[in-house]
Every structure is written in structure tokens, then in C-alpha cells.
Amino acid sequence: MIRRTLREWQRIGYGDDNTTIPPSEADRIAALAARSSFAGRGGEGVLEHGRKGLRARGVVGVIAAPGCQLEILPKIEGLGEHETTDEALRRRLIHMLAVVHDLRIDAGSLAQLGWQKDTILELLIRLFCARLMEAVRMGLPRLYVDHADDLPALRGRLDVTRQFSRHAVAPQKLACRYDDLSSDIALNQVMRAAVTRLQRVAQAPDNQRILRELGFAYADVTEVPIPALRWDQIILDRTNQRWRELLSFARLLLGDRHQQTSAGATDGHALLFEMNALFEQYVARLVTRALAGSGYRVAAQGGHRDCLFEAGTGRFRTKPDLIIRQGDRTVLVIDTKWKRMAPRIDDPKQGVSQSDVYQLMAYSQLYRCPEVMLLYPHHGDLPPEPICTRYAIASDGAEETLQVATLDVTGPAHTHIEALKHLLAQTLPAAVAA
């Protein structure tokens, strides 16, 4: 198995040594990447397939073809950090995924993972399998399921309509309707689908072994194709609360708008995450926690106000990443950008895109909001302290301002929440009291 690891926006050339990738393997990997939902019209939204090599873009995860596996890691750097190990990047990516998908991963579980030798996909499989095996040992959840059957003796209640339409001339059979306690329910069908999918993609021997054991545990549960899974029929109550996190984990591994774990007819698989979307959701979760109890409300991907109108019809609908409201008033609009700001010595604008500035100015006007913010991840080439620069919009001394700020996304989530509290307190003074 040829295994290579890249950082986002990094390039790997063609060749036969440990720092390159054979052209034939690269072609298969690129074909898989081109089938991803993130590939875009040109098919190179995940990987640029050039004459001299492959170049990763802003999508991270694992792409695997027979005999070859390519892992793409995000460049998540801390304050004053310049060189980061692959192990540290895997930890940080899993931390962000855990926050976004409400997964509580304790220190003991993290310590037992193979951070150096395994890819992000194998690490997630290992975490999921350990949690699922623990839950299965306590028993599969069961519910009463309605059955209709023709029996020689009455069970439950008689289905009069079916009895006289189907068995009018054969009364030795009774049309019965009864409830039976069953484990063949939607929740278990989702778990079986996850186990079946992961059995096909897991490479680590310990993951393969535990997945085989889980396969036996779910042998009596109906195998339902992933697109046909009935998520809407899953009911979580006090009797099965321990399955809530496992359900989130299964949704993560089976696919949603942020990633996919299959590649159609192509022989191979992929688990991919768009870092722009992941960073946006991560910040949304932490801002919500930072403002809890303060009287402010946080809405992600909300607003939906139109820029232009024609004969009563709105055009160019907007969808800011984060809107913070107090009552009916919008007090702050935040747009997250998974981009690397440039040190001021290199660029007076610090790499802030002019189009991003125009977008935030439009938000300020549309949502009648005097404060807007561009939020970037901090990285090692920036000054050691997080950036928070405030600019007056349109004229010097204007009340409307645009802030350009950074957030250090390394370390535990509670430090990020404190950093956001400090940042938001400069714009939302009432949040300090909370």
C-alpha cells in the first residue's frame, strides 16, 4: 500500500520514492477526487491534476484507490508555531470535527489512537468502533413494531377488513395485527449501514477485527441502502440517550454536505471535508457557547436578504455565515474565512481580499448593522498575539466599522471560547457581564 500525506495547498510530484507518487497511482487518486461533490465544474476542486504532480486545495481528508492512499491535512497552526507535525494536525482536525458534530471524545480515548501511523479515516473508524462496541454490549435498542400476519390462532387484535376480504372462504386463518418488541428499527439500521460501509474501507487490522465483531452483532438487523435509511423515524428519548453521539458519528461517516465516503462507480473511497465549511461551523458552535446567557442570539447561515429588487422580485440573496442579534436588532455580522492572512510587512492589506471587504460592507448596509467582522484562523507567520484591527467604513471616523480578526484554533475548545468572548466583548459590551 502506497501512502502519502499532504498539507492543503501543498504539491506532490510524480516519481517512485517516498516523497513522490507514481503517475499511475496519481491518476487513480485524481479520478476519485474529480468525482467528489467538492470537485466543481472543472473537476479540480479537491486536487489539481497537473503535468508534474498533484496539488491539494482547500479540501482535507483521505482519498483511497486500490494500492494507494492519499491523506490531506489542514494547516492548523498555533500562536508562534511554524512547524507542525502530521500527528498534531490530525489531533486538531478531529477536535474540530468533534465540536461541530457534538462528539465528546475523552482524553483516554484520544491517547489510545495511532496518531502517527494511521490516517484521519482510520482514527475516526477506531473512535466510532470503540463507542459502538461499548453501546452494543449494553444491548441493542428495541421498540414495539406493528406486524400484520395470518395466523392459526388470534394474536393481538383481529383485522376485520382483511379477515373478511382475504379469508372469507378460508376461516382457518386469522388476520392478526400485533406489536412485537424488535431490534430491527431505524436506529439500528443506520448503525448496521455504518458498520457495513466501514468494513469495506478500513485498512487497520484492529479496525477490521472489531468491525467483524460488530457485523455479527447486527446480523439480525435489515441491511438498508444508505440513501434509503429512514433518519426521520429515529426517536431519541431518555431510554436511548446514549445513542445520540453514535448517531452523530454515523451521520458524519455516512455522509452529509461537508463530505462524502464513496466515489460512485470508481473503484475506491474518500472521506473529505471542506475546510471553509468546517471552520464556519466550528466558529458558529463556539460563538453560541461564548454568548450563552448573554441575551444575544446567534444564527448561522441566516439572513437571506436580497441585494436587488426588480418588479417586486428579489435578486442576489445573501447568506452571512453568522448573524448576532439582540432582540430584533442585528448587532454584528461575522464572515469566517479559512485563508492565511499575510504578515503586514509583506502586504499592507494582510492578504484580505477586496471582494471580501465589499461583501461585508454590503452586509452592513442590508442588515443595518454598524459592526461587521472578517474572522480568519491565526497561523505561525503572524504576530504572536491574535489580530483585531478595526476599520471605519466609507469615511474616517464613521460609526460603521469593519473588524479583521484572527482566532487561534489550536488547543482545547474552552480556550477558543474565552478568546471569542474577549473578541466579542469589544463589540458587544453586554457579553462581558455574562
* pLDDT band, residue 192 (cuts 50/70/90): very high
Report yes or no: 301 and 321 within 8 Å, Cβ to Cβ: yes
Edge-first strand order for the sheet with 68-73 is 2-7, 68-73, 59-65, 269-274
Residue 430 confidence (pLDDT): 58
Q: What is the pLDDT of residues 328-343, one digit of tens each?
A: 889 999 999 999 888 7
The pLDDT assigned to 413 comes to 85
Burial class (CB in 10 A: 0-12, 13-18, 19+), 206: middle
Question: How many whole angstroms separate alpha carbon 318 and alpha carbon 320?
Answer: 6
pLDDT at 345: 64
Q: Which pLDDT score is estimated for 257?
A: 41
* Tens digits of residue pLDDT in 132-174: 999 999 888 888 877 788 888 888 788 888 888 877 777 788 8
The pLDDT of residue 107 is 59
Query: Average pLDDT in the 171-191 region?
Result: 87
pLDDT digits (tens, 9 = 90+) for 293-319: 888 999 887 778 888 888 888 888 888
Parallel, antiparallel, or unpaired for β 2-7 and 68-73? parallel
**Residue 221 main-chain phi, psi, to 5 deg:** -95, 135
Residue 139 Cα distances to 133, 134, 136, 198, 243, angstroms: 10, 9, 5, 21, 11
Confidence (pLDDT) at 109: 63
pLDDT band at residue 111 under the 50/70/90 scheme: low
More confident residue, 5 or 148: 5
- C-beta separation of 334 from 322 below 8 A: yes
Mean pLDDT of the chain: 86
Percentage of residues in the chain having pLDDT higher than 70: 94
Residue 110: pLDDT band by 50, 70, 90 thresholds? Answer: low
Least confident of 4-18, 171-185, 192-206, 239-253: 171-185
Q: Higher model confidence: residue 87 or residue 169? A: 87
* pLDDT tops 60 at residue 260: no
Q: What is the pLDDT of residue 346?
A: 66
**With 50 as the cut, is the pLDDT of residue 40 above it?**
yes
